[in-house]
Amino acid sequence: MSLKNLSAKTKIPKILINKLKDKRITKIYNNFEKSLDPKHNFIVAVSGGPDSLALAFLSKIYSIKNNVLMKFFIIDHKLRSESTNEASIVKKRLNNYKINAEILTWKGAKPIKNIQAIARKKRYEILLSKSKNLGISNILLGHHLNDLFENFFIRMLRGSGLKGLISLDKKTKIKGVNILRPLLYQKKDDLIYIAKTVFNFYVNDPSNINEKFQRIKVRSFIKNLEQTGLDQKKFMNTLQNLKYSNEVVNFYVERNIRKNSFISANKDKAILSENFFKNPHEVIFRGLSDILLLVSKRYYSVRGKKLDKIINEIERKVSFKVTLGGCIIQKINQTVIICKEF
């Protein structure tokens, strides 16, 4: 369909359709459009950075063309004195392009350690709460190819296993809500180009150059690798091979849960048989982690070291009782009972 026909048929505002005439932007949009299902409505997370502004523009075009609802939200973390003013500026800039956004504020005490990780967790909680209130089960995030590489190396430095290394994917699910990353294989330079071409603006977060944060150190490390010949295509092939291996492990995890556990109808109690723990460690580890999430109704998994310790206790002791991850875990003879902690 030509841009002229597209504009006439879907009534895309002229200020937006003119930007879509750019060939580079059109190519990016076409890839973006293939990533989404027009049967659904979406929440769009906007930070003001170039990746999220590009996401907002592409999502707005998509919503008009496919007649779907897109709800745009800007998270004001209030971690910096400038954040509230920046959020207001971003909202006004989006409004100039017929993109109506609502500012959501993180209220309460702020962390002094592990700031970026806690802020990321809080951001998810705020968006998931909005998702539940609006009855929209799809959230769009602006993660891109550079984020994919950074996540891999950060997880490697933390000693993550297979699942952790490939944890950033185009689609994941938290408590029944789809977390979608339609720009995950798009280069950051392309998203900066959209932000500059469309809005002539984006927010520069000073934390993105502060090397006290691990992610920034990793970002510098990757740049050095690129200068010495990091092959992105081979890197993507490696990630894909790891994903294939992960699918095999998931198969056995799901089979173990299905065959060797009983989960109550309201999912607040699980009973694990002796055979549940007669599997390779990774299968036991993931299965137990999944069940704890299911029973506790929490968003995030228990840390690996704590879970390893519990598995070790289950294997060594005849009986014990402990609280972990919002659950009460009790072993009686060879049976493990997991209940939600109230």
The model's pTM is 0.83
Q: Residue 190: its pLDDT value, please? A: 96
Note whether 3-230 and 235-340 share their fold: no
Q: How confident is the model at residue 340 (pLDDT cuts 50, 70, 90)?
A: very high
What is the Cα–Cα distance from 169 to 153, expressed in whole angstroms? 15
Amino acid at 292: L
Q: Residue 160: its pLDDT value, please? A: 84
Domain 3-230 has CATH 3.40.50.620: yes
Within 10 angstroms of residue 117's Cβ, the number of other Cβ atoms is 13
Averaged pLDDT for residues 62-67: 93
Q: How confident is the model at residue 275 (pLDDT cuts 50, 70, 90)?
A: very high
Q: Residue 191: which residues within 8 A CB-CB, separation 6 or more?
A: 50, 51, 53, 54, 55, 142, 144, 183
Return the structure tokens found at 267.
């999912």
Return the structure tokens found at 320.
């014990």
Q: How confident is the model at residue 108 (pLDDT cuts 50, 70, 90)?
A: confident
In the sheet that holds 70-76, the strands lie side by side as 101-105, 70-76, 42-46, 138-140, 177-180, 171-174
Q: Residue 207: its pLDDT value, please? A: 56
Q: How confident is the model at residue 132 (pLDDT cuts 50, 70, 90)?
A: very high
pLDDT value at 80 more than 90: no
Averaged pLDDT for residues 258-276: 95
Q: What digits encode the pLDDT tens for the residues 280-307?
A: 999 999 999 999 999 998 877 888 889 9
Instruction: Detail the DSSP E strand segments found in 62-195.
Output: 70-76, 101-105, 138-140, 171-174, 177-180
% of the chain at pLDDT higher than 90: 59
Q: Residue 90: its pLDDT value, please? A: 94
Q: Residue 1: its pLDDT value, please? A: 46
pLDDT value at 192 more than 80: yes
Of the candidates 198, 221, 201, the residue with the CA atom closest to the CA atom of residue 211: 221
Q: Residue 281: its pLDDT value, please? A: 94
pLDDT value at 206 more than 70: no
Helices (H), 135-195: 145-157, 162-165, 188-194
Averaged pLDDT for residues 23-34: 95
pLDDT value at 8 more than 50: no
> What H or E segment, with its residue span, contains residue 263?
strand 261-263
pLDDT value at 34 more than 60: yes
Q: What digits encode the pLDDT tens for the residues 208-260?
A: 555 566 777 888 787 777 777 777 888 889 899 999 999 999 999 999 999 99
Of the candidates 12, 64, 20, 11, the residue with the CA atom closest to the CA atom of residue 38: 64
Q: What digits encode the pLDDT tens for the residues 136-188?
A: 999 999 999 988 988 898 888 888 888 888 888 999 888 889 999 999 999 99
Q: How confident is the model at residue 38 (pLDDT cuts 50, 70, 90)?
A: confident
- Could you tell me if 341 and 321 are in contact, meaning their C-beta atoms sit under 8 angstroms apart? no
Averaged pLDDT for residues 266-286: 95
- How do the domains of the chain map onto residue ranges? 3-230, 235-340
- Of 88-97, 101-110, 249-258, the range with the lowest mean pLDDT is 101-110
**What CATH number is given for 235-340 in this structure?**
3.30.465
